[in-house]
Amino acid sequence: MDKKDNNTLSQGIFKNPSKDIPAGIVVFLVALPLCLGIALASGAPLISGLISGMIGGLVIGLLSRSHTSVSGPAASLSAVVLVAIQLLGSFQVFLLALMIGGLIQIALGFLKAGAIADYIPTNIIKGLLAAIGLILVFSQLPYAVGVEIDDSRLLDYSKDTFAGFEERVLMVVSSIAPGALVLSIISLGIMIFWDKTPLKRLKLFPPSLFVVILGVALNQLFKVFVPELFLEGVHLVNIPEVSQFSSLFTFPDFAAISNGKVWTYAFTIAIIGSIATLLNLEATDNLDPHKRRSPPNQELVAQGVGNTLTGLLGGIPITSVIVRSSVNIEAGAESKLSTLIHGFLLTISVLFLSNIINLIPLASLASILLLVGYKLTSFHMIRQMYHKGWPQFLPFAVTIIGILLTDVLLGVLIGSAISVFFLLRSNFHNPYFIETTNPTNKKKTIRLELSNEVSFLNKPAIKRTLWNLPKGSKVIVDASFSSYIEPDIIEIFKDYKQTFAVENNIDFSILGMGENLSSKKKIILDRKDTQDRTDLNSPQKILNFLEEGNKRYTDGDLVSRRYQNKKLKDFIKVDPLAVMVNCIDMREPLNMLMNTGIGDLIPLKVAGNLLDRHLIESIEISCRKQKARLILIMGNTSNKLILSSLKKILENPDSCSPLLVPAINEKFFKPEQLTKANLEEWSERLMAWNLEFSKNLILSQNQYLNHEISLGKIGLCTAIFDRKSGKIEFSPLHISEKVTNNNP
């Protein structure tokens, strides 16, 4: 690391000491019983848990680039450690396996195995957080009320959370320690209502640190004034005293390097520890209020260095720990300075401060963890996940239940399996888009547009659809937009075309692939059914192209032209073909009606197809600046706007809609000619007249367009869309009687 990196690191760590230092103290206080409890659950010496806590805070805290993650003894590996120590014969041989496991983790980091974290679904991460929250609540309630469940008051994560649940309930009811209950109620009340009291002005004391100090003070007052509330012995933190510094460490037995079981457990520790770290790291990043992302590969290297060192010095496996990390974030930590302080305080407490630390009531620490657990298992989050639907909620719920009934890793794997099931189910249902393009005809045309990638997972859906199509239908499979089609799918198409389609009189064709249905992995598009844009270099060719597209629409032979527009920037690189003027009454998609690509047409909407000066200027800009080479003014049958205007005349002869004024002024239409019997006839006649009127208006009012049209550089025509049949009747291109030589 160069000097510049050191300066940047220092500035980042010491940017918010007023928040990080108190947070580090709180995490240290929470980490103490966790370190001891996990060591006990692992069947290792109690001091080994503290060694791992110190290395997790100081070494991994320094090497990690996570701002809020805190590492320490791994509860997820406690069962593995317990069995490994027994089978390997001694704690020293186990330390050798742990050291090798750390080296394997370093290798995984350099091999960029941390990328697996990016593939963990968010609902699984939220399920993990909610489950950890519930475990905290269940495990801390006895401590909060002063009930001793086991021989030890330490946290034991190696046992089933619900084991002996009824016994615990009876024990809680019969043996509550009043002093612990009082401290818990006071502590929870202070933390919950902290922001509504004058205490919030204590910037250097977060509520969690304040309640710990208050708990010690109140318990000492209980000793003097209310002895029956005084807590001692198993109700307090208990750090073993260290007589000599050298007695802290235990070293690995290198003579067992050739033992196959050592290597087996080394890989087990490395794999499980790495997965647990990545899960907790992703969960911690989700809790970070700044939503900063931690580099997973760097984290694996840091964890590997930490586990190698803890194996050399007599610790137990280390991972990123979500409980400490969530407490760290809740306490207001902004950088990893809080992690380093927590590691430093663990070291100091082991060496010099055991007598002071042992005064802290466990009820005060339990209150902090109860509140953290409640926030992790937020009812708002559960409700939010439920409203996202079963594909999101069910894996979330299964993850919670799986973790509570088994352990973290197995629960996450079960939840992930459910998530994969919904993913496969989604692929099963969505390999294509299907539509019937001409349902009014006797011979139905059914079009299946395949998705971008079609894999073997889509086989059941495709087979079910094809083999259930009606006899005598026309089937078009459009693969124009597909970049990959599994060879198995191509074989299905071959079999269907050669046998089932023939026997059931089904006209089966595929667009976007060669006739031989090549089974190459990369599909080569067959573009013989598409028009090369470079050929559309004249108004007449563009008009022919639009006529052909409309015929494809009415015949049900639409060609997907989306392959021309895979990127948005493609739309603006290619000149548009035509500017389309149609009535605001017409809402049918122009691209589908004429089978054009996105961006081929510039649509302009106007009431009743009547143009004015401003719209004609827009048409000029479309042709002059955007290079459109065809102006198409298109009306539609059953025009509701014109029909409504005519009905108003029947109701009130003195009324006259602006849509009818030009026709009345030109004496094409006289209101007295209108009757109920000829209402629809006049609607169609006026629609067609308005088209011609607007066409002539363009020629008479815009010199540039008139000149370009007369030279044949821009085409001008009208068209009428029949809403019943879908067919568009195009007029021939306008031909000027004489060419003007005045260049505008």
Q: Which three-class secondary structure state does DSSP give residue 1?
A: coil
Q: What are the C-alpha distances in Å from 255 to residues 12, 94, 267?
A: 44, 12, 19
Q: Kindly tell me the burial class for residue 560, based on how many C-beta atoms sit within 10 Å of its own C-beta (0-12, 13-18, 19 or more).
A: buried
Contact 555, 529 (CB under 8 A): no
Between 178-192 and 207-225, two packed helices, what is the crossing angle to 10 degrees? 150
The residue type found at 63 is L
If one counts every other C-beta atom within 10 angstroms of the C-beta of residue 712, the result is 15
Between 122-145 and 390-405, two packed helices, what is the crossing angle to 10 degrees? 40
Contact 101, 277 (CB under 8 A): no
End-to-end CA distance of the chain: 69
Contact 54, 306 (CB under 8 A): no
Judging by DSSP bridges, how do beta strands 318-320 and 71-73 pair with one another?
antiparallel
Spatial distance between the Cα atoms of 21 and 204, rounded to a whole number of angstroms: 8
Q: What are the C-alpha distances in Å from 254 to residues 97, 177, 251?
A: 10, 49, 9
Contact 323, 128 (CB under 8 A): no
Contact 690, 635 (CB under 8 A): yes
Spatial distance between the Cα atoms of 336 and 281, rounded to a whole number of angstroms: 14
Spatial distance between the Cα atoms of 67 and 74, rounded to a whole number of angstroms: 20
- Phi and psi for 202 in degrees, rounded to 5? -80, 85
Question: Which structure tokens are listed for 475?
Answer: 């089937």
Judging by DSSP bridges, how do beta strands 432-436 and 630-636 pair with one another?
unpaired
For the CA atoms of 532, 533, 539, 540, the dihedral, rounded to the nearest 10 degrees, stands at 10
Q: Which three-class secondary structure state does DSSP give residue 164?
A: coil
Spatial distance between the Cα atoms of 189 and 371, rounded to a whole number of angstroms: 10
Question: Which structure tokens are listed for 250?
Answer: 């235990």
Spatial distance between the Cα atoms of 606 and 659, rounded to a whole number of angstroms: 11
Spatial distance between the Cα atoms of 199 and 197, rounded to a whole number of angstroms: 5
Residue 641 neighbours by CB under 8 Å, 6+ apart: 583, 584, 585, 607, 608, 659
Spatial distance between the Cα atoms of 630 and 618, rounded to a whole number of angstroms: 14
Spatial distance between the Cα atoms of 711 and 220, rounded to a whole number of angstroms: 103
Q: Which three-class secondary structure state does DSSP give residue 495?
A: helix
DSSP 3-state helix, strand, coil percentages of the chain (rounded to 5)? 60, 10, 30
Contact 724, 637 (CB under 8 A): yes
Whether 583 has a binding-site annotation, put simply, is yes
Q: For residue 236, what is the DSSP state? A: B
Q: Which three-class secondary structure state does DSSP give residue 318?
A: strand
Judging by DSSP bridges, how do beta strands 715-721 and 318-320 pair with one another?
unpaired
Contact 489, 454 (CB under 8 A): yes
Find the radius of gyration of the CA atoms of the chain. 38
**C-alpha atoms less than 13 angstroms from C-alpha of 205 in its C-beta half-sphere:** 15
- Which residue numbers belong to the known binding site? 583, 585
- Which residue numbers belong to the known binding site for Zn(2+)? 583, 585
